[in-house]
Amino acid sequence: MSTSTNSHVAALQDKQFRHLIDGGLQDSTDSFDVINPATGEVFARSPDASRSQFEEAVTAARRAFVGWSKAGFSERRHQLERLADAMQQRQEELATMLTLEQGKPLAAARAEIARAIGIIRQLVKIEIKPEILREDAAGRAELHYKPLGVVGGITPWNVPIVLAAPKITSALYTGNTMVLKPSPYTPLTTLLLGEIARDIFPPGVLNIVAGGNALGQWMTEHPLIDKITFTGSIATGKRVMASAAVNMKRVTLELGGNDAAIVLGDADPKEIAGRLFAASFANSGQVCQSIKRLYVHDDIYEEMLVELAAIARSVKVGDGLEDDSDYGPLQNKAQYDKVLELLEDTARQPGVRILAGGHALGRPGYFIAPTVVAGIAEGTRLVDEEPFGPVLPVLRFSDVEDAIRRANDSRFGLGGSVWTRDVEKGAEVAARLETGVAWVNHHLGVAAEYPFGGVKESGVGRANGLMGLLRNMEAQLIVVPPAV
């Protein structure tokens, strides 16, 4: 660990974290533990927002909406660019905080903060203008877009800042104000972001409050919140959608995935194994859109297994603060236990071969060895559920039609990919995947200029791109007769 990382760690461990409410930083009477997943030990405490603090945040957001919604796109763009600049200045502190509470290696944490900054800058470049639908002797019809009011943002623990940044930007740029709640497992980097944002936006425009799941429920039920933008599990997404009905809240739901990648028989295992591995094991497999089912053609199946297993055995899993760690721990004990249980279930399946990993690392913290599983089929928990951990089932196929059918035979529909030397053939197969995003010879990571989201139970609506921004606005049709 470098001396500068050391000094950030020391400062962050002593720091008092506070909510951002109505332009001020606030403590709470109650607080909860935050655990470093690399040690399994409590290293800090987060304030736990009371009901009245939450109400104060909503009231402040409602009040601030009056001015902010009138500020115009260029002013709001300017303020969001200032946020991006301020984050850049404190990038190292934010990244260190992220590693401490989330577990990912420092290099990945730095990349997450850099990506979040890039997303802010990219989204505010998108122009939103009224559309003239018709203009002739009969008159004119215009479509105008207006902000909704107060947007509630709820984020999970896997990539807290890369998810907070587009939620904040999409809501604020389009003229809404916001109350944002991070996951109770990883609240601190988002609270630090709130501290940075305090000096930028007018009071009440952005409020960040930490708390448990009950706070999320208060948000989804609150009559003065007009939209919920939620990222998390399908089970919670369903609860959010049900309680959002209370005042017909708009929702954008970015939920779980069980992405399939299909490798056709003409692909070169040696050439692509590294990229497939990275797209599956990034963030220790805790990415909504990572490869979670790998379908490989018979002709290259065994060779692909050898390549993947060799990588799995060669990477270094360790504390994210250690310079040579490629992958960190699982983020929390519940997820760690869930993945270990899945591995036990997998080992019991007839014909299964565990080619690498398959076990926890014998050390404190929530570490699991990168695991490659062969000889597994649909109908098992590992293949049918979203593992959200460093475990990749590799399935065999001989007919591409069969691979497409099996990839689509899922309640999930987030992303998918096709790997082949023939990119046009790949594009044809990709278009037949029932997913919100499909790639050829690539998987994971969608630029903020494009809409991102899932079909089936993987989500409702799209984030990012013009389509995602417009989900924070309501269209109004204005019909004007010809002048007399």
Active site residues: 254, 288
Q: How far apart are CA 389 and CA 281, in angstroms?
A: 8
The reply to whether 412 sits near ligand NAD by the rule CB under 6 A is: no
Site for ligand NAD in 380-399 (CB under 6 A): 386, 388
Least distance between ligand NAD and beta carbon 182 (Å): 6
Q: How far apart are CA 28 and CA 172, in angstroms?
A: 26
For 267, which DSSP code?
Answer: S
What H or E segment, with its residue span, contains residue 333? helix 333-347
Binder among 31, 69, 213, 380 for ligand NAD (CB under 6 A):
213
Binding mask 445-464 for ligand NAD (x = CB under 6 A): ---------x----x-----
Least distance between ligand NAD and beta carbon 86 (Å): 24
Cβ atoms of residues 472 and 174 within 8 Å? yes
Q: How far apart are CA 248 and CA 44, in angstroms?
A: 38
The reply to whether 254 sits near ligand NAD by the rule CB under 6 A is: yes
Site for ligand NAD in 223-252 (CB under 6 A): 231-233, 236, 239-240
Least distance between ligand NAD and beta carbon 379 (Å): 21
Strand partners, 62: none
Q: How far apart are CA 219 and CA 285, in angstroms?
A: 29
Instruction: List Cα–Cα distances, 453 to 82, 202, 238, 281, in angstroms.
Output: 28, 31, 16, 20
Residue 110's CB: how many other CB atoms inside 10 A?
18
The nearer residue to ligand NAD, 358 or 454, going by C-beta atoms, is 454
- Specify the stretch interacting with ligand NAD by CB under 6 A; choose among 177-185, 191-199, 376-384, 468-476: 177-185
By Cβ distance, which residue is nearest to ligand NAD? Answer: 216
Q: How far apart are CA 450 and CA 466, in angstroms?
A: 8
Binder among 153, 156, 204, 468 for ligand NAD (CB under 6 A):
156
- Specify the stretch interacting with ligand NAD by CB under 6 A; choose among 49-57, 121-129, 179-187, 343-351: 179-187
Q: How far apart are CA 371 and CA 338, in angstroms?
A: 15
Instruction: List Cα–Cα distances, 331 to 168, 185, 200, 214, in angstroms.
Output: 24, 8, 31, 21
The nearer residue to ligand NAD, 5 or 243, going by C-beta atoms, is 243
**How many helical (H) and strand (E) elements, i.e. helices and strands, does the chain have?**
16, 20
Binder among 157, 173, 367, 397 for ligand NAD (CB under 6 A):
157
The reply to whether 216 sits near ligand NAD by the rule CB under 6 A is: yes
The reply to whether 255 sits near ligand NAD by the rule CB under 6 A is: yes
Residues that bind ligand NAD (CB under 6 A): 154-158, 181, 183-184, 213, 216-217, 220, 231-233, 236, 239-240, 254-257, 288, 386, 388, 414, 454, 459
